[in-house]
Structure 1
Amino acid sequence: MSQVIMMLLFPIGLYFYFFIERKGKPKYQKTFDDFGEKIMHNSRLNSEEKIEQYTQMLSLNGYTITESTQTKVRGEKRILSMSLLAMSIGAYYVGVLVYLAYYFWIQKPHVVEYKLNI
């Protein structure tokens, strides 16, 4: 029974990766872009308050602040792909080790950067 489940995980993971997860990435990025535009055009906030808002948004979403100046905030976060993990389980447990090695050493983190136009 476990062999059948493992054989089905690979095609299920492929489906979720190509048809669900990849379509969700632009929506995820749009959330940050819309927030950045909203704060940028808010004339009631000075530049320090805008940087504070950007930093707070990144921190609340689990991003590590890698750079913060008076005009720029940059956050990075590694995103675990559950569909790729399911595909690697479907390729037996060696695939899990390969995916985890990819996740920790090769995968580039998702970067969100906000800049102020002064």
Structure 2
Amino acid sequence: MAGGNAIRGSRVGAGPMGEAERGETAPRQRISFWCANAHETRPSFAADAAIPDTWDCPSCGFPAGRDRDNTPAPPRTEPYKTHLAYVRERRNEKDGEAILAEALAKLRGAS
């Protein structure tokens, strides 16, 4: 079966291959960023693009800066607080006793 199928071995939508057919790429520059864990990240930017001060490290997620010796501090994570912990921040022991006494008086008066 030696047919004359001209597009054999190619897929629909396949374009020309190679840089010559696609045109020239924009000028790029690679900038190094370092995080607190000493990971180096080198994203590429367009030559005329504004370079950000920080970049998220793909290895650990910490912020990375352009100065290797003076890296940004890792974010401080707050521990999980329970509802009771938030209530204790707003109320002291004396306020809690007064609210409890008021609630108990309402319950005893209602029955």
Same fold at TM > 0.5: no
- Higher RCO, 1 vs 2 (CA within 8 Å, ≥6 residues apart): 1
Q: If the length of structure 2 is used for normalisation, what is the TM-score?
A: 0.22
Higher Rg of the two aligned structures = 2
More helix, by proportion: 1
Q: If the length of structure 1 is used for normalisation, what is the TM-score?
A: 0.21
